[in-house]
Structure 1
Amino acid sequence: MTDVGDQLPDDLASAHAMILAERAARREAEAVAARAQAVNSHSDALIARLRLEIEKLRRDIHCSRSERKARLLEQMELQLEELEADASQWKVIQTVREKFSCRECEKIAQPPAPFHVTPRGFAGPNLLAMILFEKFGQHQPLNRQSERYAREGIDLNLLTLADQVGACTAVLKPLYELIEAHVLAAERLHGDDTTVPILAKGKADAGRIWTYVRDDRPFGGTSPPAALYYASRDRRQEHPERHLKTFSGILQADAYGGYNHLFKVARHPGPLTQALCWSHARRKFFVLADIATNAKRGKKAAAISPAALEAVKRSDALFDIEREINGLSTGERLARQQQDSRLLVDELEAWLRSERTKLSRSSPVTEPIDYMLKRWEGFTSFPDDGRICLTNNATERALRGFALGRKSWLFAGSDRGADLAAFMATLITTAKLNDIDPQAWLADVLARIADMPVSKIDELLPWNWKAKKAAIAAAA
């Protein structure tokens, strides 16, 4: 055993130098450990703020004005940040499948090939999700996508992209059918439609996109929201009759006559309850009472109608109550509607009928008054049912994408094209209603759906997918 004293130097100066060197080494080791710990603790914050690139701008460290070129003393750093974007990052993922054979039995073994949406497909789930969301969520036609990809050095022609879209919709059909069943099982639906031109020989037909939205949140329902879309080449009443043939409950919609058969007693499996939209009715009065808009018309401004202004004020009182009870349970909503809304509705009816007797047929206020009084039963069903809302704004929001998108893609090239638009709108809008990123959801679904048993496909529905992701994140 070696004595520690044998390792010490003979002179005191050398011993002192050794101690100082040991202390310096210890401090350096502690500093390295502290820096490593700091980097680890801040890594999440750096990732959250995207990728931070630090560039230091330095000038000459010696003063140019000093005769002796005195060295400058550093005082502080001023930091400036700007947001920058790189071009899309493309990559090829190569999967190697090893093949083995047995010398004794000559049996050959090889792992199965990964699933592709198209047979012998080349596009990965993230690329497919981007194509779908760009076309149906951001309303970028496939030819524009193809041009953009070409600028980035990727050759994906229009026909190739169209094939990918068709293959994806075939794979995603089970999810569409599950969403369809979920929507049509609702107690109450919002319904509406909008125009989408569909090409025909030498012309374009005024096609329609129909939507039905299930959203139970305004009356405290716990079922997840969802939207369902259909396409047709015209607006005949047979279309909503076919769409809603299995539905029974409340239909909140506008006064389109094609819905009328749905409210008849003879309908199977029973008449629907009609609930008309107060926003439509109020809007007709508001146009005649819009002081700000009239002021912009200058000399062409029409006189503000006192009757229209009064109708708007009375309607607003009902909307104030609706905002206060939004999200409450059906019973709580019904109690408030019976207590307050019913009285306001009765007073409004009496006032409208009184005003109508004072107006001539040529008066502009006559039309909105007649619009309401002829459909008064549909407008006044809400005080007797806590599930009914005042407006049909849920479907108007659901159709806003088509209203904006048709300015970009102008028309549907065929009935199949319109059907595909309705199909994908069902998936994308339902994802948005459940507060999830549609593109991320589609990418994950396309990557997993091939390996999912039919009995577990419902796990990929937006609301179930979101819940599972949240559970995994909480457990991590």
Structure 2
Amino acid sequence: LMNRNGMADVWEYRFIEHVRAHNVEHVYKVARVKLADGTFTNTMEHPLKNLGGIFSPELLARLLCLKYDFSMPENRQIRLLAREGIHISNTTLNSYIHNGISRLREFMEDVFKKFVQQAKYLMVDETTELVGVETPEGKAYRRKYLWAFFAKHVKLVYYHYNNGSIASDVAKTFLDHFMGSISTDGYTVYRMYDGEGSKVLHIGCWTHCRRLWVDALPSDRTAMDIIDSIGDLFRNEDLFRTMKLSSEKIKEKRLKLTGPVLERIHHKVVMMMQDAKIMANELIRKAANYTINQWKSLRNILKDGSAEISNNLCEQRMKPVKLLLKNCMNIGSEAAAENSAFIFSLIESCKLNDIDPQDYLKHLFECILHGKDCDKKALLPCFYKSEC
């Protein structure tokens, strides 16, 4: 052997071989028999009766991940399955998929939802989706709203579809027993938590605030004064993150370092609003009014060291939803919208916890199929331990 620096000079050649997956169809012949008491029964029940379809736990988990993790619409799944020897209609596939999700909701949704509601800190956002609804004239597609409640510290996100409503009652009902902090954008619904005596600490998003000033920058360079100061806020946060401070220490540092920056921003904006020439600019006026109107929630960042100064992490949770809608165009019904919301909750929470969503869903389906008496809280993605 040739040597290099006293060691054998060796290396590796690699190549990757694809072993194509295959599906096995199991067929059971079943007869109907008459019992002694005169009643009728079958010689066996359907082996997948508890899943409401013909797909095994592994195949059903795979199909759900293809759609809700990899954003593959069902018409493409039909073509993929046909190449693998499974010929099935779009309607039948859709039925089996939503039957499976309904079983998951019955099994896990209450536990999942309650655990998120018990968190001490939530990031909240909402987005639109096109949903089919029944009208006297037939089916019509309406713009509906989906909410996301992200419990950052336990890495769980719960998507909430409440008849597609954007009304304040949706957030109010979900957070009815919540006692902690929430981070949100500037949507007016959240202003109900800004009143005196609110049990919820409402924290505004400085990224949303900054966007308005950036929009105004091309038309008036004075916006740069505010943008630079907001940049100081984020530089402080980067410093705290680098130092790996506890939430209590972050609160102390924010009072010391961030507090003066906030006062500087407030003073500059108030001075701008007194200048008629500057306020004649519509974009500057919009940014200034937003900052002052949201000031109480924006300043609340000083009261909770565990909270983020930006709601971007929750906004990012909406990207998979929007990507699927871009490929599928719409959701066929409100029942399907509720199912989609929950399967997104499971899959996105798995990804946050570095869990393979397909293995996780397979395990849940096996629990449902075999009627296992298990600790459902231990099956939440934040506690789940893979059996592999």
Q: TM-score range by the shorter chain?
A: 0.7 to 0.9
| Contact 1:205-1:234 within 8 A present in 2 as well | no
CA RMSD of aligned residues (A): 2.7
CA pair 417-193 structure 1, distance change in 2 beyond 3 A: same
Q: Identify the range of structure 1 (130-139 vs 407-416) with the bigger mean alpha-carbon deviation.
A: 130-139
1:351 is matched with 268
Superposition deviation, residue 190 in structure 1: 0.6
Superposition deviation, residue 415 in structure 1: 0.7
1:280 is matched with 208
2:126 is matched with 193
Structure 1 Cα separation of the partners of residues 12 and 236 of structure 2: 51
Residue of 240, 244, 255 corresponding to 1:325: 240
1:8-157 to structure 2, matched below 5 A, reads 83=16, 85-92=18-25, 116-118=49-51, 121-157=53-89
Residue of 181, 196, 212 corresponding to 2:149: 212
Alignment coverage as a number of residue pairs:
355
Superposition deviation, residue 264 in structure 1: 4.1
Whether 1:249 aligns to 2:180 is yes
| Contact 2:132-2:142 within 8 A present in 1 as well | yes
Task: Write the letter of the residue equivalent to 2:150.
Answer: V
Superposition deviation, residue 244 in structure 1: 1.9
Whether 1:230 aligns to 2:145 is no
Task: Write the letter of the residue equivalent to 1:254.
Answer: D
Superposition deviation, residue 287 in structure 1: 2.8
Residue of 313, 318, 324 corresponding to 1:394: 313
Superposition deviation, residue 213 in structure 1: 0.3
Whether 1:169 aligns to 2:84 is no
Question: Normalized against structure 2, the TM-score is what?
Answer: 0.83
Structure 1 Cα separation of the partners of residues 216 and 16 of structure 2: 47
| Contact 2:182-2:200 within 8 A present in 1 as well | yes
| Contact 1:264-1:271 within 8 A present in 2 as well | no
Task: Write the letter of the residue equivalent to 2:144.
Answer: G
Whether 1:336 aligns to 2:276 is no
Superposition deviation, residue 116 in structure 1: 4.9
State the SS of the aligned residue for 1:199.
strand
CA pair 363-264 structure 1, distance change in 2 beyond 3 A: closer
Whether 1:260 aligns to 2:179 is no
Task: Write the letter of the residue equivalent to 1:403.
Answer: K
Structure 2 Cα separation of the partners of residues 249 and 281 of structure 1: 23
2:36 is matched with none
Structure 1 Cα separation of the partners of residues 90 and 322 of structure 2: 24
State the SS of the aligned residue for 1:180.
helix
Task: Write the letter of the residue equivalent to 1:160.
Answer: T
| Contact 2:183-2:204 within 8 A present in 1 as well | yes
Superposition deviation, residue 84 in structure 1: 5.1
Structure 2 Cα separation of the partners of residues 203 and 230 of structure 1: 22
1:107 is matched with none
| Contact 1:265-1:271 within 8 A present in 2 as well | no
Structure 2 Cα separation of the partners of residues 312 and 260 of structure 1: 24
Cα deviation 1:258-307 (Å, max 9, x = unaligned): 223344457xxx53211010000111112334xxxxxxxxxxxx55x322
1:422 is matched with 341
Q: Which has the larger radius of gyration?
A: 1
Q: Identify the range of structure 1 (83-92 vs 315-324) with the bigger mean alpha-carbon deviation.
A: 83-92
1:452-463 to structure 2, matched below 5 A, reads 453-454=372-373, 456-463=375-382
State the SS of the aligned residue for 1:456.
coil
* Unmatched tracts of structure 1, length 5 or more: 1-77, 97-109, 217-223, 290-301
Structure 2 Cα separation of the partners of residues 368 and 118 of structure 1: 52
Q: Identify the range of structure 1 (157-166 vs 372-381) with the bigger mean alpha-carbon deviation.
A: 157-166
* Unmatched tracts of structure 2, length 5 or more: 1-10, 30-42
Higher relative contact order (CA 8 A, sep 6+): 2
| Contact 1:188-1:251 within 8 A present in 2 as well | yes
Superposition deviation, residue 458 in structure 1: 2.5
1:24 is matched with none
State the SS of the aligned residue for 1:381.
helix
| Contact 2:61-2:358 within 8 A present in 1 as well | yes
| Contact 1:192-1:212 within 8 A present in 2 as well | yes
2:364 is matched with 445
